[in-house]
Chains A and B, each alone.
Chain A
Amino acid sequence: MGYPHPSHPGETVVLSKYFGDAAARSFEGWVKRGGYEALKRALAMTPDAIVEEVKNSGLRGRGGAGFPTGLKWSFMPKGDGKPHYLVCNADESEPGTFKDREIMRWTPHGLLEGCAIAAYAIGAERCYIYIRGEFTEPLRVMTGAVEEAYAAGALGPNVFGSGRRIDVVIHRGAGAYICGEETAMMNSIEGKRGNPRIKPPFPAQAGLFGVPTTINNVETLSAVPHIINRGAAWYKGLCLGNPKSTGTKLISVCGHVQRPGNYEVTMGTPMKGLIFEMCGGMRPGRTLKAVIPGGSSVPIMNAEEVDRCLLDYEGVIACGSMLGSAGMIVMDDSTDLVYQIMRLTKFYAHESCAQCTQCREGTAWTSRILERILAGQGKPEDMQLLLDLADNMTGKTICVLSDSCAAPVVSGIQKFRGEFEAYLQGRRSPAMAGV
């Protein structure tokens, strides 16, 4: 549902059905709503059968990359005699994204059930849930849910009498956006600085503590119990025409809309309908200027692209951006895009782990050049300089933080060139003091 607003008829409510329902948070409340049936069912299946079911559902990673979940699970070795780990990525920090937070706040047991099923499917006895340090309430709710699940035998040495051990450990982050990157997250759990690792080896070969590991996002894991309960065919059927993108997606909408919130829609839903109908459109007298659809790390879309965009992995690519984590930042005509792009690049400069030169230097210089432009001190060659920097920051580093900083800059210059020129040519008064 469009939490915190009532559900809109255009939504397909699966994961968000109990958002706002405090009684669904407890173990007992979750069981009353059909909870933990999927885990019991899964424990009666073979791990291979679960992986196959998830593969057939078409579920793809909801953290941003969109990698097929069942396929990821199938990369885990079998009979290797090593411990395996599942890591649940609950480090939601991508600007614009606030869906995992609501999943953890309202349906903690749905997530635990998904973690337990996935752990069993990949041969892991332990799952670490990495929750960002600032998420104090989700941390409290999840910690309580884990205790309840142990007390009820849904976690522990003998899950529901199956003879299987599944442990869940909550690991609190301490303030670092980069720890949402899966290899940085593994380092952080190991008690290290959150520097991303070079791949290969991939986590399924040598991940957390050097053994096979799968990392899945909160929303991805929360979808799994529904797939086990209702079947891959049902999930696959939740799709408006593009069979490569199936299921429902929680879209976090923020910025200049009348009703910001989390909206759960079937893949393929038109973006225009989401913004102008479900979210109530712009504030009175305002028009849509731009949307960053997938969290701040994806290219900016202009109004024409928004108008024809279908919300699924391929649909957003076709309109010049990416679905990413589906954290949608909506900006109306009151927005100074140059300023907001500068603000985003400052975010990346602040969050760069600084191990790659292109990122450490590139993010900092990009934001300084943009500040200079905003102060009315830009040079004629600055736009080209920004594009050259962006080129050096794309595809050349260990992780994609650097690419993410370049994305709004390049798309901003391509699609909103006039706004940059207005500052450079002195047609717009400086938005910042001299730097």
Chain B
Amino acid sequence: MSASAHHGHAAGAPAAPYEPVFTGARKTRLEALFEKYPTRQACLLPALWMVQEARGWIPEQGIAEVADVLGLTPAYVKGVVTFYTMYHTHPVGRHFIQVCTTSPCNICGAEDVVKALLRETGCRELGATSADGRFTVAEVECLGACGFATPILIDDDFIENVTPERVPGLLQGYK
């Protein structure tokens, strides 16, 4: 999504200066990782997780910073970021909802759970963020909990056996 690269650069509004992610405690955490891998490059996935944890997504400047601290090029880092589905290359809602719709969940009614999630969050479509910025709903492939259809992830909370009826109640805890 190339458009995401320009997010925050709306006409007339100067871009906020980029605040580095790897300072203080986070820098210490990154340096502790260097001991655990024989190359700096191998710290790339964990470093990207740290950027996403700090910023909610992985902006272009975050890619450049990771490239800098690990001795890689921004183009290389971007190539890796875009391979993995869990790294957000554009901002998402305050709460990110992933719902499994692969066959085992599909035959147990996952599509109705998707509909309920879209309806209750106000997200217009899959991948979109609600107008209040509260939720983004994404359809994902197998979450590995097929015996507990339909599983969803809200941020880091893994919730099993979700039915359309349960959806309104589940969302209440996420403001």
**Once the chains are docked, how many angstroms separate the CA of A385 from the CA of B49?**
43
- Near A by CB (< 8 A), chain B positions 70-126 give 70, 72, 79-80, 83-87, 98, 101-104, 106-108
Binds A, one of B7-15, B39-47, B129-137: B39-47
Cross-chain contact A176 with B79 (CB below 8 angstroms): no
What residues of chain B lie closer than 8 Å to A92, measured between beta carbons? 144
Q: Report the separation of the CA atoms of residues A176 and B48 in the bound assembly, to the nearest whole angstrom.
A: 15
Looking at A151-159, A309-317, A344-352, the stretch in contact with chain B turns out to be: A344-352
> A190 CA to B72 CA in the complex, in Å?
13
Chain A residue, CB-CB nearest to B42? A191
Q: Is residue B175 contacting chain A, with contact meaning CB distance below 8 A?
A: no
User: How distant is the Cα of A165 from the Cα of B142 in the complex, in angstroms?
Assistant: 37
Instruction: Using A171-B45, A190-B41, A191-B45 as known contacts, say yes or no to A101 and B108 having CB atoms under 8 A apart.
Output: no
Q: Taking the complex as formed, is B68 at the interface, i.e. its CB lies under 8 A from any CB of chain A?
A: no
* Interface core residue of A92, A95, A135, A331 (most chain B CB under 10 Å): A95
> Are A177 and B46 in touch, CB under 8 angstroms?
no
Closest to A209 in B: B38
Size range of the chain A interface in the assembly: 35 or more
**CB <8 Å contact, A174 and B87:** yes
Residues from chain B with a CB closer than 8 A to the CB of A189 are 37, 42, 45
Q: Do A253 and B141 touch (CB < 8 A)?
A: no
Which residues from A are CB-within-8-Å of B19?
none
Residues of A contacting B44 with CB < 8 Å? 191-192
Q: Is the CB of B45 within 8 A of A340?
A: no
Residue of A whose beta carbon sits closest to that of B44? A191
> A137 CA to B37 CA in the complex, in Å?
24
Q: Is the CB of B45 within 8 A of A254?
A: no
CB-defined contacts of A136 to chain B, threshold 8 Å: 153, 156-158
Contact with B along A306-349 (1 / 0, CB 8 A): 00000000000000000000010101000100001001100100
Chain A, Cβ-Cβ closest to B106? A343
Determine whether A60 belongs to the interface, using a CB cutoff of 8 Å to chain B: no
Contacts of B142 in A (CB 8 A): 93-95, 177, 347
Q: Which of A36-44, A67-75, A114-122, A256-264 contacts B (4 or more CB under 8 A)?
A: A256-264
Q: When the two chains form their complex, are residues B45 and A188 in contact, meaning their CB atoms are under 8 A apart?
A: yes
Min CB–CB distance A5 → chain B (angstroms): 10
Q: Choose among A133, A176, A209, A327 the residue that contacts B83 (Cβ–Cβ < 8 A).
A: A176
Q: How far is the CA of A188 from the CA of B83 in the complex (A)?
A: 10
> Closest A-chain residue to B101, C-beta based?
A343
Which one of B36, B80, B103, B104 lies within 8 Å of A169 (CB-CB)? B36
* Beta-carbon contacts under 8 Å, B7-56 to A: 36-39, 41-46, 48-49
Contact A192/B80 with A173-B45, A252-B147 known, Cβ cut-off 8 Å = yes
B106 neighbours in A (Cβ, 8 Å): 340, 343
Kindly report which residue of chain A lies nearest to residue B38, judged by CB atoms.
A209
Contacting pair B141 A177 (CB below 8 A)? yes
> Given A95-B102, A98-B145, does the pair A174, B42 have CB atoms closer than 8 Å?
no
Q: How far is the CA of A100 from the CA of B86 in the complex (A)?
A: 20
B146 adjacent to chain A (CB < 8 Å): yes
Interface assignment of A296: CB less than 8 Å from any CB of chain B? yes
Which residues of chain B are near A192, meaning CB under 8 Å? 41, 44, 80
Q: Does B63 contact A (CB under 8 A)?
A: no
User: A89-132 vs B: 1/0 string, CB under 8 Å?
Assistant: 00011111110110000000000000000000000000000001
Residue of B nearest to A344 (CB): B103
Distance, CA A377 to CA B34, complexed state (A): 56
In the bound assembly, the distance between CA atoms of A419 and B44 in angstroms comes to 47
Q: Let me know if B162 is at the binding interface, CB within 8 A.
A: no
Chain A CB within 8 A of B64 CB? no
User: Is residue A241 within 8 Å, beta carbon to beta carbon, of the partner chain?
Assistant: no
Across-interface contacts of B144 in A (CB, < 8 A): 92-93, 97-98, 100-101, 132, 134-135
Identify the interface centre among B44, B48, B149: most chain A CB within 10 Å of its CB. B44
Question: Does chain A have a CB within 8 A of B140?
Answer: yes
Contact call A98/B45, Cβ cutoff below 8 A: no
Q: Is B143 an interface residue (CB 8 A)?
A: yes
B103 touches A176 (CB 8 A): no
Q: Are A174 and B86 neighbours in the complex by a CB distance under 8 Å?
A: yes
Residue of B nearest to A408 (CB): B103
Alpha-carbon separation in the docked complex, A351 to B143 (Å): 13
A64 on interface, CB distance cutoff 8 Å: no
Residues of A within 8 A of B43 (CB): 191
Q: What's the nearest-Cβ distance from chain B to residue A32, in Å?
A: 28
Distance in angstroms between the alpha carbons of A87 and B167 in the assembled complex: 38
B41 and A255 contacting across the interface, CB-CB below 8 Å? no
The yes or no answer to A193 lying at the interface (CB within 8 A) is yes
Residues of A within 8 A of B146 (CB): 95-98, 252, 254-255, 260, 327, 329
Among A134, A194, A343, find the residue whose CB has the most chain B CB atoms closer than 10 A.
A134
Q: Can you name 13 extra interface pairs (CB under 8 A) apart from A98-B144, A261-B147, A350-B141?
A: A100-B144, A101-B144, A134-B143, A136-B156, A136-B157, A174-B85, A193-B80, A193-B83, A252-B146, A254-B147, A255-B104, A256-B108, A335-B107
A-B contact pairs, 8 of them (CB 8 A): A95-B146, A98-B145, A101-B144, A169-B37, A193-B83, A255-B104, A327-B146, A343-B103
Binding site for B on A (CB under 8 A): 4, 83, 92-98, 100-101, 132-137, 167, 169, 171-177, 188-194, 209, 252-256, 260-262, 296, 327, 329, 331, 335, 340, 343-344, 347, 350-351, 353
Instruction: Give B contacts to A, CB under 8 Å.
Output: 36-39, 41-46, 48-49, 70, 72, 79-80, 83-87, 98, 101-104, 106-108, 140-149, 153, 156-158
